Amino acid sequence: MHWPFCAAKCPYCDFNSHVHRGPFDEDAYVENYLTEISQTAELVPNRTVRSIFFGGGTPSLMQPQSVEKIINAISTKWQLSNDVEITLEANPTSVEQEKFQAIRLAGVNRVSLGVQSLRADPLAALGRLHSVEDAVAAVKLAQSNFDRVSYDLIYARPNQTLDEWRDELNEALDLAREHISLYALTIEHGTRYYDLFHAGKLAMPDPELSADFYELTQEICEARGLPAYEISNHAAPGEESRHNLTYWQYGEYAGIGPGAHGRLLIDGQRHATSTERMPFKWAEYVSAKGDGFVEFDALSRGEQADEYLLMGLRLKTGISPSRFEALAGQKLRQEQIDHLTEIGFVEILADGNLRVTDKGWPVLDAVVADLAA
Amino acid sequence: MTDLKHIRNFSIVAHIDHGKSTLADRLIQKTGGLAEREMQQQVLDSMDIERERGITIKAQTVRLSYKANNGETYVLNLIDTPGHVDFAYEVNRSLAACEGSLLVVDASQGVEAQTLANVYQAIEVDHEIVPVLNKIDLPAAEPDRVKQQIEDVIGLDATDAVEISAKTGIGIDDVLEAIVERLPSPIGDRDAPLKAMLVDSWYDAYLGVIVLIRVIDGTIKKGQKVKMMNTGAIYDLDRVGVFTPKLVEMPELGPGEIGFITASIKEVADTNVGDTITDAKKPCAQALEGFRPAQPVVFCGLFPVDANDFEDLRAAMGKLRLNDASFSYEMETSAALGFGFRCGFLGLLHLEIIQERLSREFDLDLIATAPSVVYELGLRDGSETQLHNPADMPDVMKIEEIREPWIKANILTPDEYLGPILKLCQDRRGIQTDLTYVGTRAMVQYDLPLNEVVFDFYDRLKSISKGYASFDYQISDYRAGDLVKMSVLVNGEPVDALSMLVHRSAAEARGRVMCEKLKELIPQHLFKIPIQAAIGGKVIARETISALRKDVTAKCYGGDATRKRKLLDKQKAGKKKMRQFGKVEIPQEAFIKALKMGDN
């Protein structure tokens, strides 16, 4: 579920987010979600929904009753599993904290907070609207309201040192409970950081230092009982984000809302779908034809195999070579696996899965390219 | 047929951009060779590359009819000669087909090295030379200074130089009058057996091979059985004619005339520039002097970027050779670059032109290996052999002596750049043979090993002189040199395409630059990669590419799968363009860039 609106655009963010000013009829806008849900349910009927994720944008800006309407629509059109995971992304400002209880009552049982840093200067530099105190308070309040809470931090920031990060991360892990996402700052095309970086005004760590950042992060989280189960995600055993696991395990998911992506199995054929990115244009499409799809492509075997590879190898559990073979219609190249094994970048697990080793993780994209080539 | 007194055969000698083609266009226009609407800028340079670069590759000819001030009508034959030293022999033959030349010099730029080389060639074949100052209308024109320069540098009397502007048409009539008044008419004997010189030839899709000829003695006509004296081949002539510049058939051509013939000649390679054409039944006693077959002096490997294009490349080379017998090729296999061809060229410009035509006319992406000259090897067992490819070098223990081609180079430059130019020549093992000043311009002559010149000497010269220095050369002789084969190893594997013969004194510096360049050009891998330059088993330079430590996308969720897949597609396509060396993937640009070594 993609909610595209934000109170402000952060300089590093390349997500489909829009700052909307002026009159806005949220009830009317939410109707489009409900329409798109029914339409999608006709394409992929009789599914059991195991997770719902409200992402954005800033879905915590939604009114709790909007969240509730959407959850209700989903439960009407499909079957919700008993242990359904419903996550909502929230910003830790005081305004949003006030909504936590109502959001829980609407059916949300997990929140993911966009803390990003526990230091004042970087928060300001990252364009965040909350303070360190707001963030700490929000995490604690969320933890008392929801069974499961995660929050995000960004590291390997301009001018950040390893020592500073060690301290900040340790504090963060004191605060965290069962899940945390730790992202190395990435300069994305089309952001203000991109322009600054290319104008030489952003002192980003070089590849060596950013490799050190990554290693340090893994080391500390492991020691503190929140090992990585994915490149940037850490959880106590059993507390992984079920929703995100679906992406990485290359399962089936529907994307609702502007700029949302889906992978839908229709008559056994996997389709890649995406919707119009511009929020009001998307709404026009939905009112006119019932959905906002701008892409609806049957994926070839090779494309599915590539996606499985690049998503699946992000997980500590790796990929199943036999599933790869089933998708691709051919095996992974043994010669390539042997070479990568020999130089210590991949390994075969006891269950037969192929995974990237700890040494391989920081260079995952290169390993995937070698395997896919 | 025209009587000898009313014929003038001439060529135009000029430096690139000094206005040779524009003047030719004006002469054609003035004498009515083409109607206004048929004039296309620079009519004579018919290949795209010729027009774009302002150079002539093939000799072209045009027959003009001019009614002079004395009331008589003359046939003026203009042969537009190739303007580059790579085609020195072709230039020589074209000039030999004429009795005189117009020496066109830009009135603001003055004499250039290339002008010098060409005008000396014209003098060598006893041409009467009429100096013409072009671009006289430009504010920067200094006719008096340039006249003085012509007298000082070339030693020609420039008092009566014709002052013109080919662009605006000023002085064109004076040029035509000077051709009639000052150039000699040809001599020849109409009743003698046919003797004609093969000036040039090219392939035409409709007519087959068209042969440009100059008749010396006798007559040549349609249906005649002729013999090429050097090849011994006999042909029945299908057509005889002239270019006005349009192709016009004539009943016959007589002594002094320039025109074309066609017979059922399949390939340009069957026609040798400089050959003597005579009557098959009643041949002339002696062939013309000065014939020599085309000899390639520079070689390089050409490989398709996409291995699937190999057959297309073979076909394209065959087609080019149809029209250019001086270009040679034979199949070559390289571990680095796959299947390709070892190609021979008359010089660096010729190499560039062929490469450009292959990519432009045949849409082929090519990798060229470092140009190499032809070495002569004297072996211990007393035998002699030629080396066209450093990869084929025999065991050093078997070699007594390696000889390399040397050139005589003329460089003309504004004197402020002389210092760095002398240093460049010294660095390239040059031996200075002359240095003279003409006003603020210096003319320096060097003996240089060609091997040092094929390494972007010209680019360096242009850059250190901000484009003002001009350069020309002639192959002079072969000299023994202390040459060694330098190999390059990437991750312990020799990369054949990068091996080269260098002078021992330059080997270490070259090796270092090569290793440094490759370090920049080969992307990081998951493991570290040593790069070494070696002579025999001895490493003379090394660099190491450190292992890749960080390359991972931090955020990748459901909405990123499509984008990441497309990125992966691009990566895969990129990898396809890489060449595999053991476990190392080397991008093709790396070869191209590593081979384009500067002096940095």
User: Rounded distance, CA A310 to CA A312, Å?
Assistant: 6
Contact A256, A52 (CB under 8 A): no
- Judged against a pLDDT cut of 70, whether residue B597 lies above it is answered with no
Tell me, yes or no, if B561 comes closer than 8 A to chain A by beta carbon.
yes
Q: What's the whole-number average pLDDT of chain B?
A: 87
Residues 334-373 of chain A whose Cβ lies under 8 A from any Cβ of chain B: 339-340, 343, 345, 361-370, 372-373
Using an 8 Å Cβ cutoff, are B346 and B87 in contact? yes
Read off the pLDDT band of B36 (50, 70, 90). Answer: low
Q: Which of A89, A76, A79 is nearest to A1 (CA)?
A: A89
Give CA–CA dist A368/A318, Å, rounded: 12
Query: Does B552 contact A364 at a Cβ distance shorter than 8 Å?
Result: yes
Region B55-62: mean pLDDT is: 62
Higher pLDDT: B292 or B422? It is B422
Which has more pLDDT, B358 or A185? A185
Shortest CA gap A351–chain B (Å): 25
Give the dihedral sign, CA B360/B362/B363/B366. Answer: negative
Residue B302 CA, distance from chain mean position: 17
Spatial strand order of the sheet with A261-266 comes to A261-266, A269-275, A293-298
SS3 content of chain A, % helix, strand, coil (to 5): 45, 20, 35
Say which DSSP state B165 is in. Answer: B
Backbone angles phi, psi at B454, to 5 degrees: -70, -20
Measured between alpha carbons, how far is B94 from A303 in angstroms, rounded to an integer?
62
**Residues of chain A neighbouring B548 (CB-CB closer than 8 A):** 207, 363, 366
- Give the pLDDT confidence of B220-272 residue by residue, as tens digits: 999 999 999 988 999 999 999 998 878 889 999 999 999 999 998 888 888 88
> Cβ separation of B558 and A253 shorter than 8 Å?
yes
Break chain B down into helix, strand, coil percent, rounded to 5.
30, 35, 35
| pLDDT tens-digit series, residues B138-149 | 999 999 999 998
Q: Which of the four pLDDT bands, split at 50, 70 and 90, describes residue B122?
A: confident
Cβ within 8 Å, pair B549-A362: yes
* Residue A370 parent element (H or E): helix A364-372
Quick one: pLDDT at residue B84? 62
Q: Which residues of A touch B522 (CB under 8 A)?
A: none
How would residue B55 be classed by pLDDT, with cut points 50, 70 and 90?
very low
A126 touches chain B (CB under 8 A): no
Taken in order of first residue, the domains within chain A and their CATH numbers are 2-247 (3.20.20.70), 302-372 (1.10.10.920)
Mutate to test the interface with A, among B525, B545, B550, B570 (most CBs of A within 10 A): B550
- Judged on CB neighbours under 10 Å (0-12, 13-18, 19+), B51 is middle
Q: Tell me the average pLDDT across B179-195.
A: 95
High-pLDDT (> 70) share of chain B, % = 93
Whether the CB of B41 is below 8 Å from some CB of chain A: the reply is no
Q: Scan for tokens 């990003």, then name that residue.
A: A116
Flag whether pLDDT at B44 surpasses 70: no
Beta pairing, strands A48-56 & A2-3: parallel
Smallest CA–CA distance, residue B583 to chain A, in Å, is 9
User: Which of the 8 DSSP states describes residue A301?
Assistant: H
Measured N-to-C along each axis, helices B88-96 and B113-124 cross at an angle, to the nearest 10 degrees, of: 50
Inter-chain contact B555–A306, Cβ cutoff 8 Å? no
Question: Residue B442 in 3-state DSSP?
Answer: strand
pLDDT at residue B52 in the model: 52
Q: Shortest Cα distance from B527 to chain A (angstroms)?
A: 8
Confidence at B187, pLDDT banded by 50, 70, 90? very high
Instruction: Enumerate the residues of chain B whose CB falls inside 8 A of the CB of residue A361.
Output: 552
B550 touches A at CB < 8 Å: yes
Q: Does the annotation list B434 as a binding residue?
A: no
- A119, A122, B328, B440 from A167: Cα distances, Å: 11, 14, 70, 71
How confident is residue B136, by pLDDT bands cut at 50, 70 and 90? very high
**Please, which residues 48-67 of chain A have a Cβ atom closer than 8 Å to chain B?**
55
Which of A210, A244, A373 has the CB atom closest to B575's CB atom?
Answer: A373
Chain A: give the shortest CA distance to residue B540, in Å.
Answer: 29
Among candidates A262, A310, A373 on the partner chain, residue whose Cβ is nearest the Cβ of B565: A310
Looking at the predicted structure, is the pLDDT value of residue B57 above 70?
A: no
Going from the C-alpha of A7 to that of each of A99, A358, B592, the distances in angstroms are 16, 38, 51
Q: What is the rounded radius of gyration, in angstroms, for the C-alpha atoms of chain B?
A: 27
Report the DSSP beta bridge partners of residue A346.
A356
To probe the interface with B, which of A3, A240, A303, A309 has the most B CB atoms within 10 Å?
A303
pLDDT band at B600 (very low <50, low <70, confident <90, very high): very low
Nearest Cα residue in chain B from A296:
B562
Least confident segment among A343-357, B52-66, B400-414: B52-66
Other Cβ atoms less than 10 A from the Cβ of B16: the count is 17
Q: What is the pLDDT of residues B569-587, one digit of tens each?
A: 999 988 887 878 888 998 8
Q: How many CB atoms sit inside 10 A of residue A139's CB?
A: 21
Q: Do A263 and B568 touch (CB under 8 A)?
A: no
pLDDT in tens, chain A (373 residues): 999 999 999 999 999 999 988 899 999 999 999 999 999 999 999 999 999 999 989 999 999 999 999 999 999 999 999 999 999 999 999 888 899 999 999 999 999 999 999 999 999 999 999 999 999 999 999 999 999 999 999 999 999 999 999 999 999 999 999 999 999 999 999 999 999 999 999 999 999 999 999 999 999 999 999 999 999 999 999 999 999 999 999 999 999 999 999 999 999 999 999 999 999 999 999 999 999 999 999 999 999 999 999 999 999 999 999 999 999 999 999 999 999 999 999 999 999 999 999 999 999 999 999 999 8
Note the ipTM here.
0.95
Q: SS3 string of B82-145? A: CCCHHHHHHHHHHHHCCCEEEEEEECCCCCCHHHHHHHHHHHHCCCEEEEEEECCCCCCCCHHH
Interhelix angle A334-342/A364-372, rounded to 10 degrees, is: 150
Of B550, B555, B565, the CB nearest to A307: B565
Instruction: Give the dihedral sign, CA B461/B464/B467/B469.
Output: negative
What is the tens place of the pLDDT at every residue in B432-450?
A: 999 988 777 788 999 999 9
Between CA B338 and CA B326 the distance in angstroms is: 25
CB neighbour class for B473 (10 Å; exposed up to 12, middle 13-18, buried from 19): buried
Q: Which of residues 563-582 of B touch A (CB under 8 A)?
A: 564-565, 568-569, 571-572, 575-576
What pLDDT does residue B479 have?
96
CA–CA separation, A333 and B453 (whole Å): 47
pTM of this prediction?
0.68
- Residue B54 reports pLDDT greater than 60: no
- Closest chain B residue to the Cα of A185, Cα to Cα: B554
Which of A274, A306, A311 comes nearest B556 by C-beta?
A311
Residues of B in contact with A306 (CB under 8 A): 565, 568-569
Q: Is the dihedral of CA B189, B190, B196, B197 positive or negative?
A: positive
Q: In a 3-state reduction of DSSP, which class is residue B536?
A: coil
Residue B472: both structure tokens together: 């020309």
Tokens of A368: 């995937």
Give me the pLDDT at residue B266, please: 83
DSSP class per residue in B308-365: GGHHHHHHHHHHHHHH-TT-EEEEEEETTTEEEEEEEESSHHHHHHHHHHHHHHS---
